Amino acid sequence: MATNRPQGPRVAVVGASGAVGSQLVELIFERGLNFGSLGLFASSANDAPNVESAGQEQRVEHLEDFQALAEFDLAFLAVPAQVALEIAAARLGSMLIDISGACEDHPGAALVAPGFTPRQRLLELQARGAVFVTPHPVALVTATILRALGVESGLVSAVAMLGASSLGKHRARQAIIQSAAALNGELDLADGETQLAFNLCLSPDRDRLARTVSRQVAGLVGRAPELALQSVQVPVLHGAALSLCVPQAQGAADWRERLRSAPGVLFEKGEPAGLIDAVNQEAIVVSVAEEKSARLLWCVFDNLRLAALAALWTAENAIFAGQAAT
């Protein structure tokens, strides 16, 4: 147990040493979440290094038995899909917030996101013991833009450009090691190993991601256009970009104003922002290029931070808001 306080819900973060999990731990302390106790866990003994947050080293324990989570009011699941499914299937009685997206088909699961799910709906779902599932950051960004622009039909094509950390800390470490080796002329890849350093390649999970994003966008915005998504791994460690080609529609003349007033969107004039400019930002940084038959939108965002923020927002507006009201 990393931290104890006299009052507040008992909170667990499973996958606390991972890319999203460590970001979530940082935000819990940064935003002053009023927890009573905080347990930080890794689902594998090999993934249990301590994490630093709030100027202190926070202890991370190996979660040997899922039943240990039963003593917590809330558990964030920042773990591989199979582990999230096993924890959800254990029916521990804790409120679960699944960041992996694996539990979408779990009985009683609900897709929720800031700006899309009313607070009262969160409280109702929490009372029913729902498993909360937060969307993939690419889905959240796409849904946010489409709703802001009022696009409900036609074909939207998109290319998601994802840094190495989108596939976890292990992938980011691989990219660092390969980059150092390549710069020293010592890069020697094993058979079947993908070069991550100074290379651009299709994401290994591109088909699954395309299906997930399409399904989640439709779930968030209701009526949604057809979405054709390709995802690419880019040779950076953190951050992501999304290039959207959105068809012209009635009322398209006021799209810039719609983007300026959209919650969670920072509309940029002039030279479009680079991916690195969005790291540690909570907003989606967007710029628009004019075309005769379509709008080309360039969106950069911190995918890890968006994922962690969506999960934390769910907790703040469900279990914490619910306890404050009782």
pLDDT higher than 70, residue 6: no
pLDDT higher than 90, residue 141: yes
Domain ranges of the chain: 3-135+307-325, 138-303
Residue whose tokens read 């199979």:
82
pLDDT higher than 50, residue 242: yes
pLDDT higher than 60, residue 4: no
| Exposure string for 73-89, b = 16+ CB within 10 A, e = fewer | bbbbbbbbeebbbebbe
What is the pLDDT at residue 252? 59
User: Considering the chain, what percentage of its residues have pLDDT values greater than 70?
Assistant: 91
d(CA 135, CA 227): 16
Residues 263-295: tens digit of each pLDDT: 999 998 778 999 999 999 999 999 987 666 778
Average pLDDT taken over every residue of the chain: 89
What is the pLDDT at residue 326? 42
What is the number of helices (H) and of strands (E) in the chain? 10, 17
pLDDT higher than 60, residue 131: yes
Going by pLDDT thresholds of 50, 70 and 90, the confidence category of residue 248 is confident
pLDDT higher than 60, residue 251: no
What is the pLDDT at residue 324? 46
pLDDT higher than 70, residue 126: yes
Residues 52-75: tens digit of each pLDDT: 766 677 889 989 899 999 999 999
Residues 197-237: tens digit of each pLDDT: 999 999 999 999 999 999 999 999 988 789 999 999 999 99
Q: Which residue type does 39 have? A: G
Q: In this structure, what token pair is assigned to residue 232?
A: 């690419």
Q: Which CATH architecture best describes the domain 3-135+307-325? A: 3-Layer(aba) Sandwich (3.40)
What is the pLDDT at residue 321? 62
**Neighbour tally for 301: CB within 10 Å:** 29
pLDDT higher than 90, residue 299: yes
What is the pLDDT at residue 50? 72
pLDDT higher than 80, residue 79: yes
Cα separation of the two ends of the chain: 27
Q: Which fold has domain 138-303?
A: Dihydrodipicolinate Reductase; domain 2 (3.30.360)
What is the pLDDT at residue 218? 94
pLDDT higher than 50, residue 325: no
Residues 147-174: tens digit of each pLDDT: 998 888 889 999 999 999 998 888 999 9
DSSP letter for each residue of 235-258: S-SS-EEEEEEEE--TTGGGHHHH
Going by pLDDT thresholds of 50, 70 and 90, the confidence category of residue 250 is low
What is the pLDDT at residue 157? 95
